[in-house]
Amino acid sequence: MNNQAICFSSVFARMKLYLILKLLISISFVLMIGCNNEVEHPKSVFQMKGTLADSSMASTKWNISIDSAWARPTKAGMMSAAYFKLENYGSAPDSLIRVSSNASKDVQIHLSYLNDGIMMMEEQPFVTIQPTEQISFEPGGYHIMIIQPTMDLNEGDSISFLLYFNSGMIIDKTIQIGNPKL
């Protein structure tokens, strides 16, 4: 191999490395957008989406249950997600508008979706549940993102959540770490 050929192949190798790096950076950027978006949602977002349930404390019977709840094990400072089945057996629609936890000061409502074969996720300002409706928060769909938990979340541990609804209802829920079905 002469000098020129060696030079050419090393440029080619560097270009490949550059492209791989670029790909990795864009993937991590997508993940960052998915998880670290701390943007406050102004009221206009609620109005834009136009589906926030119009439930007032006076007219709503608070009849929402949360079953089959579990959260992913993880280490402190990493990411976890909580899943459950939400059911509205009351007569009025309601919307889950905020979630907080003792495990992290940054807990978000997320929705995962496929975009060109890549799993993405996006913060949701709220999730509306109609009377008699069941909504499953599950891997690949809605989930509660627990960003950088302050403690290790080990299988069998429990963490607590407060789920705030548009009606004014607040559900206090203890959720176990680890999927009971696995």
33's CB contacts (< 8 A; 6+ apart) are none
Least separation in angstroms between residue 6's CB and Cu ion is 47
Of 9, 60, 41, the C-alpha closest to 122 is 41
Summarize as ranges the residues that interact with Cu ion (CB under 5 A).
110, 121, 145
| Residue closer to Cu ion (CB basis): 145 or 175 | 145
Between the two ends of the chain, the Cα-to-Cα distance in Å is 56
Of 154, 179, 181, 174, the C-alpha closest to 66 is 174
Least separation in angstroms between residue 27's CB and Cu ion is 15
Provide the H-helix boundaries in 63-176: none
Q: Which residue is nearest to Cu ion (CB)?
A: 110
| Residue closer to Cu ion (CB basis): 52 or 147 | 147
| Residue closer to Cu ion (CB basis): 72 or 110 | 110
Least separation in angstroms between residue 112's CB and Cu ion is 7
